[in-house]
Structure formats: C-alpha cells, structure tokens
Amino acid sequence: MSEPIVAARGLKKRFGAVVAADDVTVEIRPREIVGVIGANGAGKTTFVNMVTGYLKPDEGTIMFRGADITRLPPREVTRLGIHRSFQVAQLFPNLSVRDNILVALASAERTRPSLMAALRTRGSIARVEAILAKLGLQDDAARATTELPQGRRKLLDIALAMAGRSAVLLLDEPTSGISTGEKFPLMDLVLEAVVAEEAAVLFVEHDMELVERYAQRVIAFYEGRVIADGAPAEVLADPNVRRYVVGAELHRRPEGTKT
Amino acid sequence: MPRDLTLSFLAFALVGLLALGAVLPLWVVFLLTVAFAKALVVIGLVVMMRAGLVSFGQGLYYGLGAYAAGLMANFLGVTDAIALVVLGGAVSAVTGFALGFVMARYREIFFAMLSLALSMILYGILVRSSTLGSTDGFNLPSPTYFGLAAEGAAGRRVLYGLTVIVTIGVAMVLHRFVRSPAGVIGEAILTNEIRVEYLGTSVARVLHVTYVLGAVAAGLGGALVGLAAGHIDPDLAYWTTSGEFVFVAILSGTGHVAAPILGMVVFETIRTFAFQYLPYTWQMVVGIAMLAVILFLPSGLWSLFIRARYVKGRT
C-alpha cells in the first residue's frame, strides 16, 4: 500500500464542553475515494475544517506528503493542492458565473495576483468555457450566481475548488440540498474530473446509497471519534455503525434543515 | 465579450480636454483644474470601494500630498511642478504602505472610522504646528515646468494641462487595475473573503495593494490642488473634506474609474453656482442634488451611460 498523502494523527478539538474531535486519526492515500459518514454533529465538518487550516486542532498533527501542515492557514493549505468545497456553496454573488471561475483560475495560477494584466482575455475565457461545458453550465456563464438552482450552485462551488490542480479534494456534503435524481449525475461528473486529475477525494455524505456506490473506503464518525474505517461493505455492516450512524440517518431531519 | 473602449475613450478625452484648456475662459480652467485634481482622490476611493474599503479619511493622503509638495517648494526651493506632484504621490504611497498593514485588517464601519481617525490625527498635528502656519497654512510659490516659469494666465493653463494628464493617466492605470486579477479578486473579497482565502489568495495582500493605490491617487490630487490654489491649509485633511470625497464617489457611482471625473465636475459646478447665487444655502442645493441622484440614479451618474448601452444592446 502506498504512503498516505494526508495523514491526520490524534486530532483533538474542543468547543467549550463539546469535544468535536477526539483522537481522530485518518489517512488518505493518493487517488483514493473516501466516504465519510456520521450523524449531524459527529465531527465530520470539524475534521475537514482542521485539515484545511480553518480550525487549529488542540492536539495532534496533520501531515501532507510528509510535511507538517497543522498550523498553516487555509490559503497556504490550498496552495499545496488540498482543495475543498462547502456544505453551503461558497460563491461570489456579485460576480457572474464566468467571473467566479476566472477568479479561481487566477488565484490558482499566481500567489500574488497580477495588478495590470487583464483577467478576461480570449485565452482565459476559453478555459472557463471549457470548464463550464464539462459541468453542463455553459449556458449560465453570464448569469449571476444567485440565479442558479441549488444543484448548479454546488457544482460551481466544486468547480471553484478544482480550478487549480488538486492533490486532495475534500467535499463537504456535495449533494446536500439536491434532489435525489440529481445526486448521482453530480457525483459521476465530479468523480470523473477527480479521477482525470489523479487526485484523492474525501466526501462527507449522508446518503448511504451514494456512499456504497462511490466510496472505496468509508470512515464513520460518532461524537467526535472515528468508530470504523475500512471497506464500505465492512463498515456499513458494523453493528456500531448500524446503530449510531445508519440508524440515525433514518431518523435525521429532512434535507436542508441543517445549518 | 463586449469590447472595452475605455482606454481609447480616455485617450480621446485627454486630447479634447487639453485642446479645450487653450480656449476656455480662465475661471472655467481653474474650476476644471480643481475638479480634476479632486476627482483623482475619488477615482482612488472608488477603486477602494469596489473592494469594500469605504474610507472616510482620504483627506489624510490628500493633505499629506499637498503638504509634502508645499514643504518641498517652500523649504527646499524645488518649484518644478512635476517633481512636486510626484513627491506628493510618493509620500502618500509610503505612508499608505506602512498604515496599510493595519488598515487591511479592518472592514466596513471599523475601517471607515479608523481611516477617519487617522486623517484627524494629521489634521490635529497640522493645526498645532506653528512652523507650518497652523490653521492658516501657507502659500506656495508658482511652479515651474522643466525650468521654465509659467506665470499668470499661462501658468494656470499649463497647470490645467498637467492636471488633466495626471488624472486621465491615473484613471487609465486604475482602469487596468480593476480589470486585472487583483482588481476582480477585490470585488470577490467584498462578498466572500473566506472563499478567496480558500482559493489560495491572501485577502490582506489584495486589500493592502488597493489601499496603497487609493493613497497614491489622493496624494497626487492633494499636490495638484495645492499648486492650483497656491495655498494649503489643514482643512485639506479635515473630515468634511474626506466626507466630500465619499459624497462625490456615491454621486458618481463605483461602476467605472472615469465616473468620478464626471461626478466631480458636476459637483464643483453645482457648488460654484450655488455658492454664487445662494451663498447662505448652497449646501442645501448640493444636498438636494445628492438626494435626486440617490432617488433616480441609485448607481450614480455613471449609470446613465450603462443604461444607454444596455438599451442599445437590446434593440
């Protein structure tokens, strides 16, 4: 088995009395597709936030290709090739769909954005058109992001995350708020792009059907701890996972109510 | 992609305005010189506002630029107009760069109030410095151009020319900036800072650069106004002066870097006539004009042009 590309060891994070992460150890290997499951508040997003530098763990280390990235801010983690999408799409509502992607491409290209070169050139717009066409967003280029339906907003959010070359892509509930029929095409589209880039993916997901279908490995969180980590069939059959995660999913609130 | 004709338009405007400078009556030339110099400050402010930095203290750099030029002329005997204007911009650039490390960390009302506070510190220092003329300020000698003296009417027309060149030149440079990656990322910062950081770009750095550009424009404007008026005083750094820049920025609209030129000319014209015919209530006239713009052109005077183009595109 190859060396892990991301190795988080013994992560601990408290928010007052709540332990959001307790001795979390997770490894992601190159080109792996990992599904993360767990009820609301199990610590999935906290984990993603710690890996990407948004939250600093109280204890533990995060290594990327052998280098310690525990204390790096999001912008430096991003520059290393660890990219993420958000549960609620994080877009620039004052810019067009095209400009959203142009900003992402420009950011990926240079650490210090150019002050005098034109952002919108024939070449850069052609690149955006290609990206939009791949995602089926070609007709939305000139639209405001606020006019997009939820599914397309999520797609655009992922497109922003993938504008640079990703080594690891962390998708926080990529299909939340999307109708059941749209979920599979979205995952197909995203994973196809990821595989083409040879990136590793970790996706947080509530829909077990989706996890079973796409994940090569599944990690289950419960109250800030990793309670299972392994092949999907194994993890989903685990009695603790069935009781605390899969069972909880059957009773969870409807889509979109989670904040 | 619609073709951007701004640079050619500005180049034409530059030639046209320079030609007009030779024939317009002297009082109009003076009014336009002051309007263009002050428009420079607002152009810088508009660029900052696009990234969410609404400064209520551009008087700081406006005053610094004017005093830097004035001090250099009076104490070091440098009278070359171009050197003085460049110095005004440079002093503001250095100060803006230093203060930018702090300012780039603040947003919205906190940024506005801190910028106001900094400008009032300069005002306080100037008022208490008797060597700088205290509240009276001091006079500037007439500037020279490459060693040639230009006195009286000719001097006014030459200074007008220099002001037009600097203002249109800065507008061209800043127009390129707002269309550059850094400029558009600035607009992105306005609505979603976290996402910008998560794309790998330093928000603080982009805002810092934007802040320095605003400072330089204000410094150049201050030096030019000082030369045009032949006199400078601490009011250049007073908060009402800064407020006037914000006023004109809103009047003009932030849609385009050339908007403040139009806005400032309209503002100075209204004020000049209002002051002449209604010396006690001129502020009311200016206020009503502002109210009308907010009610009928919420995106500023510039939206007149945008609308015209939009309608043309539709038919």
What is the pLDDT, as a whole number, of residue B56? Answer: 94
Quote the pTM value.
Answer: 0.89
- Whichever domain contains B126, its CATH number is 1.10.3470
Domains and CATH numbers, chain A: 6-81+166-251 (3.40.50.300)
Q: A interface toward B at CB cutoff 8 Å? A: 52, 54, 73-75, 78-79, 83-84, 90-95, 99-100, 102-104, 106-120, 122, 125, 160-161, 163-164
Q: What is the pLDDT of residues A189-231, one digit of tens each?
A: 888 888 888 889 999 988 888 888 899 999 988 888 888 888 8
Would you call A99 and B184 a contact, using CB atoms and an 8 Å cutoff?
yes
Reported as half-sphere exposure (CB side, CA atoms, 13 A), residue A181 has a value of: 0
Using a CB-CB cut-off of 8 Å, the residues of chain A touching B51 are none
Which among B176, B188, B226 is positioned nearest to B34, based on CA atoms? B226
Cβ-defined contacts of B289-297 (< 8 Å, 24+): B289/B251, B290/B247, B290/B250, B290/B251, B293/B250, B293/B251, B294/B250, B297/B253
Integer Cα distance of A118 and B178 in angstroms: 9
Would you call A113 and B197 a contact, using CB atoms and an 8 Å cutoff?
no
What is the pLDDT, as a whole number, of residue A252? Answer: 55
What is the pLDDT, as a whole number, of residue B2? Answer: 56
- With respect to residue B168, please indicate whether it lies within any of the assigned structural domains: yes
Would you call A119 and B194 a contact, using CB atoms and an 8 Å cutoff?
no
Pairing of strands A200-204, A33-37: parallel
Of B176, B185, B192, the CB nearest to A91: B192
> Percent of chain A, pLDDT > 90?
32
Residue spans of chain B under pLDDT 50 = 309-315
For residue A116, give how far its alpha carbon lies from the nearest alpha carbon of chain B (Å): 5
A104, closest residue in chain B (CA to CA): B199
Using a CB-CB cut-off of 8 Å, the residues of chain B touching A125 are 1
- With respect to residue B149, please indicate whether it lies within any of the assigned structural domains: yes
What is the pLDDT, as a whole number, of residue B145? Answer: 81
- Cβ atoms of A94 and B195 within 8 Å: the answer is no
ipTM value:
0.89
Which among B87, B115, B93 is positioned nearest to B103, based on CA atoms? B115
For residue A128, give how far its alpha carbon lies from the nearest alpha carbon of chain B (Å): 13
What is the pLDDT, as a whole number, of residue B314? Answer: 39
Using a CB-CB cut-off of 8 Å, the residues of chain B touching A114 are 180-182
What is the pLDDT, as a whole number, of residue B315? Answer: 33
- With respect to residue B1, please indicate whether it lies within any of the assigned structural domains: no
Kindly write down the DSSP assignment for every residue of B208-224, as one continuous string. Answer: HHHHHHHHHHHHHHHHH
Most confident of A156-165, A227-236, B116-125: B116-125
Mean per-residue pLDDT for A106-113?
A: 87
> Percent of chain A, pLDDT > 70?
95
Of B180, B183, B191, the CB nearest to A93: B191
Give the A:B interface size as CB pairs under 8 Å: 104
Would you call B183 and A103 a contact, using CB atoms and an 8 Å cutoff?
no
Residues 6+ apart with CB under 8 A from B112: B54, B55, B56, B57
Residue B183: domain span: 6-314
- With respect to residue B216, please indicate whether it lies within any of the assigned structural domains: yes
Count structural domains, chain B: 1
Using a CB-CB cut-off of 8 Å, the residues of chain B touching A52 are 198
Q: Please state the separation of Cα B128 from the chain's center in Å.
A: 26
Q: Is the confidence at residue A256, as pLDDT, over 90?
A: no
Q: What is the pLDDT of residues A42-95, one digit of tens each?
A: 888 999 999 999 999 999 999 999 899 999 999 999 999 999 999 898 999 999
Of B173, B180, B199, the CB nearest to A78: B199
